[in-house]
Amino acid sequence: MNTTEIKHRAPSENVSISNLSRSRTAHRPYIKYPKSTAPRAAGAKPWDVSALCEAYDWPTGLTGGGVIGIIELGGGWVSADLEQFCESNNIPVPSVVDVSVDGTRNAPGVDPGSDGEVALDIQVTAAAYSVATGKPATIRVYWAKDIAPAVRMAIHDSCDVCSISWGSDEAEWGNAAAQDMEQAAVAAAAAGMIVFAAAGDNDSSDGGPNAANVDTPASCPHVIACGGTRKTATLETVWNNDPGKPSGEGTGGGFSTLFHPMPAWQIGAPHGPGRMVPDVAANADPETGYNVVLNGQVSPTGGTSAVAPLYAGLFAAFGTKLGWVLPALWHNPLSFNDITIGDNGAFRARPGPDACTGLGSPIASDLAALLVRPAAM
């Protein structure tokens, strides 16, 4: 396993001063753990990631080849945890390279609250890719103080997909920084790199002062916004552990006030003032979460943090430089399981796309049929 640290910078003209001035404390990781005092509902138990992939009809035998970038703003990872996870999920150990964007580095134990986020991101991505291909994933972890410069570094390094599990309410970003983040996402799409971002874990308020706010970078139109569900072996609903309340523990979602009007490719979405979040969804409730390994112990973990790397690993298995795929997803809603039960506070699930789970959770084999390009003869 490659754990070399690379130190370099993207060309200076691609680095935003407005974003570099932002502190990592403006963003938070979207990771949640089960409440130890809460009784577990019938049928609710965490998934081994390989088993969850099977439940989502993961393809197998794909050629793969996509290089995965993961952005982290704190915490760290250790090889022993990753190796233990891979053994328990019967997948090969990935190649992981740490890349310092601005002097920030892999630092396990310094910020224990973020270590779980890093473990979740790397392990879920690795499993999603390897279940589809049978091969080890190639992962680059970009350590940075802010998100947009790290996205630009991943573009510079020719990554094929990028996973972001950090963010904050649009209002905390402000228009200038959010627009700069969108420009980074536009550049990613032009370079063939797909960017996935968590939609947030605080229901429709996104932790903000109003009942309906959305999260950036998920709200950027050139980012695939990833919402959350609660998935058991028999039922999948909107993730919201505080039903009917706009501020609690559950999937983010709503309509942007910074990016408007609504994109034309959001076909069938309920009308709102701007870009609807999320686009897609998958299991995120910590009660039905993901068994990851942290500090040598299996730790059930959830949050929309898990959804972005799940999709990133899957799409990396589809191949390289897939480009601007978001309109294609919206034109093919039957490639997703429509989630019609539940709410995230201000918005309710309904047949078709909605501001809770977007198009729904993946029917992964159908997505592969849509996006995998035939091998050149």
Beta bridge pairs of residue 197: 164, 225
* Helix (H), strand (E) at residue 254: strand 254-255
Q: Can you give the pLDDT at residue 106?
A: 98
Nearest to 228 by CA among 163, 276, 285: 285
The least confident of 16-20, 192-196, 281-285, 322-326 is 16-20
pLDDT per position as a tens digit, 188-198: 999 999 999 99
Residue 366 has pLDDT above 60, yes or no: yes
CB within 8 Å of 98: residues ≥ 6 apart: 3, 4, 5, 6, 105, 106, 140, 141, 143
- Mean pLDDT on 153-178: 97
**Is 374 a residue whose pLDDT tops 90?**
no
Q: pLDDT digits over 26-73, tens only?
A: 688 999 999 865 556 667 999 999 999 999 999 999 999 999 999 999
Global pTM? Answer: 0.93
Residue 41, helix vs strand vs coil: coil
Q: What is the Cα 304 distance to its own chain's centre?
A: 6
The top-level CATH class assigned to 25-371 is: alpha beta
- pLDDT for residue 10 is more than 70: no
Using CA atoms, how far apart are residues 60 and 361, in angstroms rounded to an integer? 18
- Where does the pLDDT of residue 8 fall: very low under 50, low under 70, confident under 90, or very high at 90 and above? very low
Beta-strand pair 224-231/236-238? antiparallel
| Peptide bond just before 261 cis, omega within 30 deg | yes
Cβ contact 348:354 at 8 Å: yes
61: how many CB neighbours lie within 10 A of its CB? Answer: 9
Q: State the sign of the Cα–Cα–Cα–Cα dihedral 335, 327, 132, 31.
A: negative
Residue 118 CA to residue 108 CA, distance in Å, equals 9
Q: Does the pLDDT of residue 244 top 90, yes or no?
A: no
Catalytic residues: 117, 121, 305
Name the residue ranges covered by the structural domains of the chain.
25-371
